[in-house]
Amino acid sequence: MAQRALTHRGKGAVSVAGTKDDAHGEIDLSIVVPIFNEEDNIEALVAELTNALAPTGRRYEILAIDDGSSDGSIDKLRRAAELDPHVHVIRFRRNFGQTAAFTAGFDYSRGEWVVTIDADLQNDPADIPKLLDKAEEGYDIVSGWRVKRQDALIMRKLPSRAANWLIGKVTGVAIHDYGCSLKVYHREVIKNIHLYGELHRFVPAVASSLGIRVAEMPVNHRARTAGVSKYSGFYKTIKRATKVFLDLLTVRFLLSYSTRPIHVFGVLGLLCTLSGIGIGGYLAALKLVYGAQIGERPLLLLSVLLVMVGVQLITMGLLGELMVRTYHESQGKIYSAMFFYQMIFAIAGVLFYAWLMAALPTMTVLGIAGSVLLLCALIDFLLPALIFPIKQKTYL
Ligand code: UDP
Ligand code: MG
């Protein structure tokens, strides 16, 4: 048995303690388990996984990702890795969250199939062979469905039901239980889908839009017997729900527009520019033909504003195109967070614009000038927002 030393390329580099079989043979199955302060579950987890997997005769590895635990989890994991060569440990320097842990596990997985499962034994390892059999019928992803979910009703099950319904509606891929960690992926899916934020739950939706075959299967779910849930409590529920909702917006946007930003920004930009030029022309005609005073007219400001905003929007569309290209070509990534920022700023800009139009007749020249400045500032925020996530494309 040789010590395996791995370095994680993501944020907060990772060191690994563990062992692996000397034989570099192919592996059928990689089990990816995120672990955050689960010291009392680890022994039972490894035992249950072994009981479920060993009889199947499949060659497997258990990749335990210690997500910056502060309890004795890492010692328990090291011990497990010493006792059982199937167990490998990846350690984060600090807590990066479940999705980051999955991503790291995916990166190091060698199996033809990759299975994700929670460490707290709420998912039942005995379901893994069933899910695999289903996958081998010809699916690329088989997602667990916790039919009898053992979690609090108000804080966990209801929000989750609402989320599943909404995700189904928005992405057009109706799965009962997006949040279930127990899932089987074919290695090709894993190696091509990169995860950010809480996006792991959207993998089936994104995958299905790419023509990947997704199946769903009822699985056992048990109450937690040791350790505490990392997501319960009012504040954490709200925080998680917000993230999931924002990620859903991102996914929706990416599924529809990600490849052609110019189609979104360019059209808006052209509309603005053309109406600005129209209004400007009208004012110029008033001045030149009728000798009217136009210096005091709010319409003049509006015209300038429209042209400026329009040009900026078009520029942004072009920049977006460039980035999409660079991004896709250099990384082969399927989605990133940048469009989300774009979209938020664009929506804010449009709302602001609508408000400006409504308020215009009653505003003073000073008010209008202030608003114009504000709008320009808002739009200019968009550029850093575009560039920022590009630099952030590590495991987040
Ligand atoms: N987890 C993690 N990092 C985190 C939070 C959770 O790796 O920041 C792991 C945790 O150890 C468990 C799994 O993710 O294995 C699911 O967490 P938990 O059981 O607390 O969530 P719940 O079942 O309550 O949704
Ligand atoms: Mg749990």
Q: Hey, is 42 helix, strand or coil?
A: helix
Question: Tokens 């608003």 identify what position?
Answer: 371
- Mean pLDDT in residue range 104-120: 95
Is there a single domain that holds both residue 302 and residue 247? no
How much distance in Å is there from the Cα of 388 to the middle of ligand 1? 28
Domain boundary among 220, 238, 257: 257
Q: Do the domain assignments include residue 182? A: yes
Is the pLDDT at 111 greater than 90? The verdict is yes
Is there a single domain that holds both residue 348 and residue 382? yes
Give every CB contact of residue 125 below 8 A, 6+ residues apart in sequence: 45, 48, 49, 51, 52, 53, 117
Atom of ligand 1 nearest to the CA of 67: 7
Is the pLDDT at 368 greater than 80? The verdict is no
Q: How many domains does the chain have?
A: 2
Q: Do the domain assignments include residue 2? A: no
Give me the half-sphere count of Cα atoms (radius 13 Å) on the Cβ side of residue 22: 2
Q: Do the domain assignments include residue 141? A: yes
Q: Quick one: pLDDT band at residue 391, thresholds 50, 70, 90?
A: very low
What would the pLDDT profile of 212-234 be if each residue is shown by its tens digit?
899 999 999 999 999 999 888 88
Distance CA(329)–CA(256), nearest Å, equals: 19
The pLDDT of residue 377 is 65
How much distance in Å is there from the Cα of 191 to the middle of ligand 1? 23
Q: Do the domain assignments include residue 394? A: no
Atom of ligand 1 nearest to the CA of 230: 20
Q: Quick one: pLDDT band at residue 4, thresholds 50, 70, 90?
A: very low
The pLDDT of residue 363 is 67
Is there a single domain that holds both residue 253 and residue 282? no
The pLDDT of residue 5 is 35
Query: Across the chain, what does the average pLDDT equal?
Result: 81
What would the pLDDT profile of 319-339 be if each residue is shown by its tens digit?
877 776 676 566 544 334 445
Using CB distances shorter than 6 Å, the residues near ligand 1 are: 34-36, 38, 67, 95, 97-98, 101, 118-120, 122, 229-232
Q: Do the domain assignments include residue 8? A: no
**How far is the CA of 345 from the CAs of 222, 252, 375, in angstroms?**
43, 16, 10
Q: Do the domain assignments include residue 70? A: yes
Q: Do the domain assignments include residue 301? A: yes
How much distance in Å is there from the Cα of 178 to the middle of ligand 2? 14
The pLDDT of residue 216 is 95
Q: Quick one: pLDDT band at residue 390, thresholds 50, 70, 90?
A: very low
Is there a single domain that holds both residue 245 and residue 289? no
Is there a single domain that holds both residue 280 and residue 214? no
How much distance in Å is there from the Cα of 118 to the middle of ligand 1? 7
Is there a single domain that holds both residue 272 and residue 247? no
Where in the sequence is the domain holding 353, given as residue range(s)?
A: 262-387
What would the pLDDT profile of 243-264 be if each residue is shown by its tens digit?
888 788 777 766 765 557 787 7
- Mean pLDDT in residue range 288-311: 89
How much distance in Å is there from the Cα of 238 to the middle of ligand 1? 16
Is the pLDDT at 349 greater than 90? The verdict is no
What would the pLDDT profile of 127-161 be if each residue is shown by its tens digit?
999 999 999 999 999 999 999 999 888 888 998 99
The rounded radius of gyration (Å) of the Cα atoms in the chain is 26
Is there a single domain that holds both residue 216 and residue 305? no
**What CATH number is associated with residue 55?**
3.90.550.10
pTM of structure: 0.70
Is there a single domain that holds both residue 45 and residue 172? yes
- Mean pLDDT in residue range 187-199: 77
Give every CB contact of residue 172 below 8 A, 6+ residues apart in sequence: 205, 209
Instruction: Judge residue 308's burial from the number of C-beta atoms within 10 Å of its C-beta, 0-12 exposed, 13-18 middle, 19 or more buried.
Output: middle
Is there a single domain that holds both residue 160 and residue 212? yes
Atom of ligand 1 nearest to the CA of 95: 8
- Mean pLDDT in residue range 197-209: 80
Give me the half-sphere count of Cα atoms (radius 13 Å) on the Cβ side of residue 350: 11
Q: Quick one: pLDDT band at residue 42, thresholds 50, 70, 90?
A: very high
**How far is the CA of 155 from the CAs of 158, 164, 219, 224, 233, in angstroms?**
7, 15, 21, 16, 7
Is there a single domain that holds both residue 116 and residue 192? yes
Domain boundary among 196, 222, 257: 257
Is there a single domain that holds both residue 244 and residue 276? no
- Mean pLDDT in residue range 201-211: 82
Is there a single domain that holds both residue 74 and residue 100? yes
The pLDDT of residue 344 is 66
Q: Do the domain assignments include residue 392? A: no
The ligand with the least distance to the CA atom of 100 is 1
Domain boundary among 207, 234, 257: 257
